[in-house]
Structures are given as structure tokens and as C-alpha cells.
Amino acid sequence: MGIINATPDSFYGGSRAATQSVALEKANTMIQEGAFILDIGGQSTRPGSVQIGANEELDRVVPVIESVKKAFPSTLISVDTYHPHVAIAAVHSGADIVNDISGGRFEDNMLSTVASLNVPYICMHSRGTIETMHEKPASNNIITELLDYFIERIDACNQAGIKDIIIDPGFGFGKTIEDNFTLLKEMEALQILRKPLLLGVSRKSSIYQTLKITPEESLNGTTVLNTVGLMNKAMILRVHDVKEAVQAIQLYQMMK
């Protein structure tokens, strides 16, 4: 899954595509490098970002989704949003998957909206509200916390009528660096949920703060952690750098 951000302020500049032409160029490169899914978002959720309204987010993502889907109709597109209004417009414009950092908690009718759209749903773990989700309270056991969260959220998704659920542990969202590495090391335990697992560690702060480098210098660290994630049963890698992620997958598959 390649990341395309229709935003001016995402934490990694290399993912930004503020115009349709830039987005199309990025999409073409990622597809040539082996991306099966393109994740298009119109709102930065990095720590310290200012959240925009649903209408502005919609204005950013819909033209990009339409143009990318027209140019590459066989490539799956996920829309990265927690707004039902945006999810509806995105799917009607060509998006195939809804990717929600809130797990349906920020908007009351998000889950029922996704169910009505009849598309797969990526349910991410996060804590608190949109204002507090990056606070980092201590966790006694991050795996137990995630299992409890996903059991409740999967049930809510099922009750709403969502048929296809993918889970995302939410690396970097309200978790300490220690939590993130514990989660990566013990991630295979989430297989008990019997849902495909998405891993999103690409260029995140657990890498660059640990190594005392910048997001721009974090490709090698990303590849290392993606490889660990594959060994611990990740099924989808959400990345800024598709070529290197595909190479990691190919080498892991050869080792297997």
C-alpha cells in the first residue's frame, strides 16, 4: 500500500501531492514499483497537526481519487478518513476501501456508513479523541489493550454490517517508543483475531527518534521494521517507499 497525501503538511514531505498531476506521477511510480493499493488522504494526522473540516478534506481527496482511478482503474484505492461524508464521496469517486484511524469512534455513523457502502474497512487502534489521540499514557500491556480494543471494535463493525475488516495496530498513535517496539515484537499475538493485519511504520518517529535522524533519513530503518513485521504476520505494508517494501516482501517470501 503506497501512501499519497493530498495535503500540504504531512510529516514526510515525500508523500505530499497537493495537485492531481503530482498525485498521478506518484501513483504511476508506485504502481510500476509494485503497489497493489494506493492510500489517499486529505488530512494530516501527525502530532501537532491542525484538523480541517470534512468539506475541505473532501475537496482535496475527491479530485485525486477520480483522476488516479481513471488513469489506473485496476489499482485498488483506499481513502484515509474518519469522516462519513468524505467516505461516501470518495467511494462514489472510485475508492475501494475505507481506512479509518478512529476505528469508527470519532463519528457516530461512520461504521453504518461504511457498511452501506459495502467496501472493506481498515480499523485502526487509537486512544482518546481527535484532540488527545497523540497523548501517550503508560500502558501496562499494549498487546492486551489492543486485543480488548479490537474485540470490541470488530463486534461493533459486525453489528453495523461491515463484512470485510482489516486491523491496523496504529503504530505511533498515542504509544510510547517502548510500546511500539513491544507491539512490533509481539504483533503475531493479534492473529487470534483472525483478521488481516496492516503494518504502518513507514518513516515514523519510533525509527528516527531511536536512531537520532530525520524522517528523510529513515528509509533503511523502515525496511528493517517492515521485515520484522512480515516475520510477525503483517499482511499489508503501508509505506512511503514502495520499491523497497516490495523487495523486502520478495526476499521474505524467498526465505519462507
The pLDDT, as a whole number, for residue 20 is 82
Q: Which of 127, 153, 175, 204 is catalytic?
A: 204
Predicted confidence (pLDDT) per residue in 197-226, tens digit: 999 999 999 999 999 999 999 999 999 999
For the cut 80, the answer to whether the pLDDT of residue 65 exceeds it is yes
Query: Across residues 238-244, what is the average pLDDT?
Result: 98
Closest-CA residue to 23 (of 58, 67, 82):
67
Residue 21 — pLDDT band, cuts 50, 70, 90? confident
Catalytic residue status for 195: no
The Cα 153–Cα 61 span in angstroms is 26
For the cut 80, the answer to whether the pLDDT of residue 136 exceeds it is no
Query: Across residues 108-114, what is the average pLDDT?
Result: 96
Query: Across residues 140-156, what is the average pLDDT?
Result: 96
Please indicate whether residue 200 or residue 13 has the higher confidence score (pLDDT).
Answer: 200
Q: Which of 26, 60, 238, 243 is catalytic?
A: 238
Q: Which residues pair with 230 in a beta bridge?
A: none
Closest-CA residue to 39 (of 246, 240, 248):
240
For the cut 80, the answer to whether the pLDDT of residue 48 exceeds it is no
The cell numbers describing 73, all together, are 482503474
For the cut 70, the answer to whether the pLDDT of residue 94 exceeds it is yes
- Write down the pTM of the prediction: 0.91
64, 72 in Cβ contact below 8 A? no
Catalytic residue status for 238: yes
The pLDDT, as a whole number, for residue 87 is 97
The pLDDT, as a whole number, for residue 7 is 73
Predicted confidence (pLDDT) per residue in 157-168, tens digit: 999 999 999 999
Residues composing the chain: 256
For the cut 70, the answer to whether the pLDDT of residue 106 exceeds it is yes
